[in-house]
């Protein structure tokens, strides 16, 4: 027979007959909390109960939580980028509270939902609804999730560290114990126009991963993780060598992979020996249409990296918010101008 409430029980075995369910028989296992009895009966009892009955236990109350995390992009995490978090329920001896379990085998759940919260620099952003870890995520005292994302309120926020803690409705928290630290950067992808002779076999559109330093956008040489699939490259507005709209030629774009902050999208040579230009946008969202400042938005597959969107240009040019996809123009059949100044000297003999 169990007497008590979540977190503390008194147990008595081998009982028969009438047993008072109260402090007088068991003592008081938990001060100031309403308690109840749960029991298992074998062999029958007066009143004709032939089968056993089992009372439910839980939810269990751990002493504290430990929080550990993995950055979203190597040694840092972009603002708005999901990262992985492990929350472990611990007892007072710092061992895992294995009964803190929300699996289907426990009814009711022996765990409760946990909320992630910023313990430092909390005012610069929020989890925007991604910081809730459901009770069902806990198995034997441990929950591992990869959906949380902390987003700056303002895109133009410098790099900061945010301490991530956890708590539940019972007041159990990670305060004073192990907590995770996010190294946050506000990021974007910067693309540049490119041009080359029409006969070239490949033309590479340069792309740079950048972060906001607090004063300007700069190369993010820590980025070795960002990528955009070829299916997210939105090609539109084909034009011939005279600038007129055309469907006489086409090109195909490769996927993008960033290393050390640098990357590029490779375009195949124009079909049918064509020359001219084509606009390209990188669809970094989840929808089938890019959100660039270009006029046309063909169907693509979103690259699922909206944290790399930005404003691109003045507020009057496209949109006031930092939610635009990057875009550029690729031109075949044009030779690059001189990229450096030359000094010519006349020699007399």
**CATH superfamily of this structure's domain 64-185:** Macroglobulin (MG2) domain (2.60.40.1930)
Q: How far apart are alpha carbons 300 and 124 in whole angstroms? A: 33
- Contacts of 346 by beta carbon, 8 Å cutoff, 6+ apart: none
Taking residues 38-44, what's their average pLDDT?
Answer: 56
How does residue 24 score in pLDDT terms, banded at 50, 70 and 90?
Answer: confident
Can you tell me which residue has the tokens 């955009």? 228
SS3 195: strand
Taking residues 281-308, what's their average pLDDT?
Answer: 97
How does residue 48 score in pLDDT terms, banded at 50, 70 and 90?
Answer: very low
Ordered by start, the domain boundaries in the chain are 1-57, 64-185, 188-332
pLDDT value for 256: 99
Between residues 349 and 65, which one has the greater pLDDT? 65
- How big is the chain, counted in residues? 349
- Contacts of 174 by beta carbon, 8 Å cutoff, 6+ apart: 64, 65, 66, 67, 87, 165, 166, 167
**Percent of the chain at pLDDT above 70?**
81
pLDDT value for 190: 97
pLDDT value for 49: 37
List, for residues 181-231, the tens digit of each pLDDT value. Answer: 999 999 999 999 999 887 677 999 999 999 999 999 999 999 999 999 999
Residue whose C-alpha is closest to residue 29's, from 5, 12, 59: 5
pLDDT value for 5: 66
Taking residues 59-70, what's their average pLDDT?
Answer: 95
Poorest-pLDDT segment among 53-57, 156-160, 162-166, 232-236? 53-57
């Amino acid at each position: 027979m169990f007497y008590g409430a979540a977190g503390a029980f008194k147990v008595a075995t081998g009982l028969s007959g009438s047993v008072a369910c109260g402090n007088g028989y068991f003592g008081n296992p938990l001060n100031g909390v309403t308690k109840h009895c749960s029991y298992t009966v074998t062999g029958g009892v007066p009143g004709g109960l032939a089968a056993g009955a089992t009372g439910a236990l839980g939810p269990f109350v751990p002493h504290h939580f430990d929080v550990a995390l993995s950055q979203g992009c190597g040694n840092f995490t972009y603002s708005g980028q999901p990262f992985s978090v492990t929350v472990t329920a611990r007892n007072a001896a710092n061992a895992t509270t294995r009964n803190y379990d929300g699996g289907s085998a426990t009814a009711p759940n022996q765990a409760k939902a946990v909320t992630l919260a910023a313990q430092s620099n909390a005012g610069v952003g929020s989890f925007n609804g991604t910081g809730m870890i459901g009770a069902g995520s806990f198995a034997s005292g441990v929950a591992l999730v990869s959906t949380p994302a902390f987003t700056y309120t303002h895109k133009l926020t410098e790099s900061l560290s945010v301490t991530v803690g956890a708590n539940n409705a019972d007041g159990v928290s990670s305060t004073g114990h192990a907590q995770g630290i996010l190294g946050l950067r506000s990021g974007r992808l910067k693309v540049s126009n490119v041009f080359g002779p029409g006969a070239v076999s490949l033309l590479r559109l340069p792309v740079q991963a950048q972060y906001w330093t607090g004063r300007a956008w700069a190369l993010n040489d820590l980025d070795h993780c960002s990528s955009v699939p070829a299916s997210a490259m939105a090609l539109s507005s084909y034009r011939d060598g005279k600038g007129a709209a055309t469907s006489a030629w086409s090109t195909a774009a490769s996927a993008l992979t960033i290393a050390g902050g640098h990357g590029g999208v490779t375009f195949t040579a124009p079909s049918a020996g064509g020359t001219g230009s084509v606009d390209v946008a990188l669809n970094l969202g989840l929808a089938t249409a890019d959100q660039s400042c270009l006029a046309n938005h063909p169907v693509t597959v979103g690259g699922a990296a909206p944290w790399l969107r930005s404003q691109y240009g003045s507020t009057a040019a496209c949109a006031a918010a930092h939610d635009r996809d990057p875009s550029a123009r690729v031109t075949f059949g044009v030779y690059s101008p001189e990229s450096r100044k030359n000094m010519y000297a006349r020699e007399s003999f």
